[in-house]
Amino acid sequence: MGEAAEGSGQTENAGAAGAAAESTPGGTSAPEPGPGARRDRRKRKRRSFWRELPILIAVALLLAVVIKTYAIQAFFIPSGSMENTLEINDRVLVNKIVYHIRDIHRGDIVVFNGDGSWDPGPIPTNGNFLDQFFNGFASMFGFGHPGDILIKRVIGVPGDRVACCDAQGRVTVNGVALNEQSYLYPGAAPSLTRFNIVVPTGRLWVMGDNRFLSDDSRDHMGDPGRGTIPESAVIGRAFVIIWPPSRWRILPIPATFEQPQLNASGVAAPPVTGRGSSPDLLSARLQPSGPALPLSLGFAAAIPVTWLQRRVRMRVARRRQRSREGRTPGS
């Protein structure tokens, strides 16, 4: 009886040892992590988060400047010269990429720098890539000189003859009358000023939608360019109202500018008599919105970028660890 019990105990011990040996490769059992190991893991995660946070902030700031400088920028509308299309306190997004892809079209609402065309001084230049980046960084936080930033609708592109008015009081482009009622301020006449000009090469004829109040090409015919602005001064195209939410809408090109007859070539323009701008007119000088929007977009783009670089870095670290373990003697 004693021998049988002893033999049975030996069998049970052998079976337990075998089960333990089968539980892990190589016959060694892996101990369960204790509370101390779990605490260490949490500490490592916290340390990893604080190490990643500066990277996230730096990437977000870099992306915010890139987005604002080269892609999209928000502007605040301070006056009523573009009513009712754009109202006071509206905020619009301006696409800075579009004119690298296509030409400026009639009917586009463009944001441009009035320095050197409507205002005294040299015509601004964009500079090289780094100049634009540093200027964008400075302007995002209120430094530097943003220029006299204005917003108007393009009525005539290079080569167009733009005139007012025909027998019905309408603005014409290349002899084709524009039906502007869809965007003009209600009750506003197309123009109370008569003009007849062929838009020079590389320049644009622009007008506000509230013709009663807009200080635009008509009021600068005595300035360099005879009221036109250089295409190089255009910053981008306003394409959507983003604030307030009740005003959210896309800013399309009105249908009247899609008339195929508008593409006829202009002819030599007769002399025009310039006149100074009236002090009660509004140029819709824009104020760049604060850094909140570009920073928000920067952080939104930085999160997946930071997560991706962290995954890649951790994967590389694991491969290096496995490689070191594979070179360990006795492994």
Kindly list the catalytic residues.
Answer: 81, 152
Backbone angles phi, psi at 139, to 5 degrees: -70, -25
329: left (phi over 0), alpha (psi -120 to 50) or beta: beta
CA distance to 2, 16, 291, per residue, from 5 (Å): 5, 17, 82
- CA 225 – CA 117 distance, rounded (Å): 7
Kindly calculate the radius of gyration of the chain based on its CA atoms and give it in whole angstroms.
34
Amino acid type, 71: A
Query: Which pair of tokens denotes residue 164?
Result: 């007012």
- CA 222 – CA 276 distance, rounded (Å): 7
C-alpha atoms less than 13 angstroms from C-alpha of 9 in its C-beta half-sphere: 6
- CA 19 – CA 12 distance, rounded (Å): 11
- For CA atoms 169, 173, 177, 182, the dihedral sign is negative
The answer to whether 238 and 75 have CB atoms below 8 angstroms apart is: yes
- CA 94 – CA 110 distance, rounded (Å): 8
Residue of 215, 243, 240, 242 lying closest to 229 (CA atoms): 215
The answer to whether 174 and 264 have CB atoms below 8 angstroms apart is: yes
Query: How many Cβ atoms are within 10 Å of 320's Cβ, its own excluded?
Result: 10
Query: How many Cβ atoms are within 10 Å of 114's Cβ, its own excluded?
Result: 20
